[in-house]
Structure 1
Amino acid sequence: MLQVDDVTGDPWPALRCWAAGRATAEIVERAALLDIPAAALGEARPAAERIQPTAPGGAPRSPRGLLVADLSSMWAGPLCGQLLARAGATVVKVESPRRPDGTRAGNRAFFDWMNHGKLCYGIDFDRDADQLRELLAVSDIVIEGSRPAALRRRGLGPADIATRPGRIWLQITAFDDDRPGFGDDAGVGGGLVGTSAAGPVFCGDAIADPLTGLHAALAVAESLGRGGGELIRLSMAGVAAGYAALGTEPPTSDAPVSPPAPPPPSGPASAQGADNAAVRHLVSQRRFLSC
Structure 2
Amino acid sequence: MTALLDAVTAAGDRLVAASNGRIAFDARRALSRDDDLSLGEPGQWSPNRHCRLVRCRDGWMAVSLAREDDRDLVPAWTGAALDADPWEAVISAAPLRSGADMVAAGVELHLPVALVGETSPPAPSLLAKGAKSEGAVVDLSALWAGPYCGALIAEAGHRVIKIESPGRPDPTPQHTPRLDARLNGAKTRQRMAFDGGELLETIGTARALITSGRPHALARLGLDEARLFSLNPDLLWIAITAHGWRREAAMRVGFGDDCAAAGGLVRWNGDAPNFIGDALADPLSGIMAATLAIEALADGRRGLLDISLAGTAATFAKAMA
Matches within 5 A, 1:87-166: 87-126=156-195, 129-161=196-228, 162-164=230-232, 166=234
Q: CA deviation at 1:237?
A: 1.0
Output the CA distance in 2 between the equivalents of 1:52 and 1:152: 21
Output the CA distance in 2 between the equivalents of 1:2 and 1:27: 13
SS at 1:246 equivalent? helix
User: Is residue 2:111 matched to residue 1:47?
Assistant: no
Question: Deviations 1:133-181 (Å, cap 9, x if unpaired)?
Answer: 1111111110111111111122212321244353211111111311111
Q: CA deviation at 1:221?
A: 1.6
Output the CA distance in 1 between the equivalents of 2:193 and 2:108: 27
SS at 2:93 equivalent? helix
Q: CA deviation at 1:49?
A: 3.3
> Structure 1 stretches of 5 or more lacking a match?
249-291
Q: Which has more helix, going by share of residues?
A: 2
2:237 to 169, 179, 182: 169
Q: Which amino acid aligns with 1:28?
A: V
1:223 and 1:230 in contact (8 A); partners too: no
Q: CA deviation at 1:195?
A: 3.1
Q: Which amino acid aligns with 1:13?
A: E
Output the CA distance in 1 between the equivalents of 2:308 and 2:206: 23
Q: CA deviation at 1:82?
A: 0.5
Which one scores higher on RCO, CA 8 angstroms, separation ≥ 6? 1
2:150 and 2:160 in contact (8 A); partners too: yes
Q: Which amino acid aligns with 2:106?
A: A
User: Is residue 2:102 matched to residue 1:34?
Assistant: no
Matches within 5 A, 1:213-232: 213-232=286-305
2:75 and 2:81 in contact (8 A); partners too: no
Per the normalisation by structure 2, the TM-score is: 0.69
* Change in CA separation of 1:117 and 1:246 when aligned onto 2, cut-off 3 Å: closer
SS at 1:32 equivalent? helix
User: Is residue 2:265 matched to residue 1:192?
Assistant: yes
Number of residue pairs matched by the alignment: 240
Q: CA deviation at 1:185?
A: 1.0
1:68 and 1:89 in contact (8 A); partners too: yes
Q: CA deviation at 1:121?
A: 2.0
Output the CA distance in 2 between the equivalents of 1:242 and 1:42: 11
Output the CA distance in 2 between the equivalents of 1:132 and 1:76: 22
2:265 and 2:276 in contact (8 A); partners too: yes
1:15 to 84, 90, 95: 90
Output the CA distance in 1 between the equivalents of 2:291 and 2:200: 26
Output the CA distance in 2 between the equivalents of 1:27 and 1:66: 46
2:127 and 2:301 in contact (8 A); partners too: no
Question: Deviations 1:217-276 (Å, cap 9, x if unpaired)?
Answer: 11112212331222211111111111111245xxxxxxxxxxxxxxxxxxxxxxxxxxxx
* Change in CA separation of 1:109 and 1:198 when aligned onto 2, cut-off 3 Å: farther
Output the CA distance in 2 between the equivalents of 1:77 and 1:16: 32
Q: Which moved more, 1:210-219 or 1:7-16?
A: 7-16
Q: Which amino acid aligns with 1:7?
A: L
Output the CA distance in 2 between the equivalents of 1:22 and 1:13: 15
SS at 1:194 equivalent? strand
SS at 2:278 equivalent? coil
SS at 2:172 equivalent? helix
Q: Which amino acid aligns with 1:158?
A: E
Output the CA distance in 1 between the equivalents of 2:224 and 2:139: 14
1:67 and 1:140 in contact (8 A); partners too: yes
* Change in CA separation of 1:49 and 1:209 when aligned onto 2, cut-off 3 Å: farther
Output the CA distance in 2 between the equivalents of 1:98 and 1:203: 36
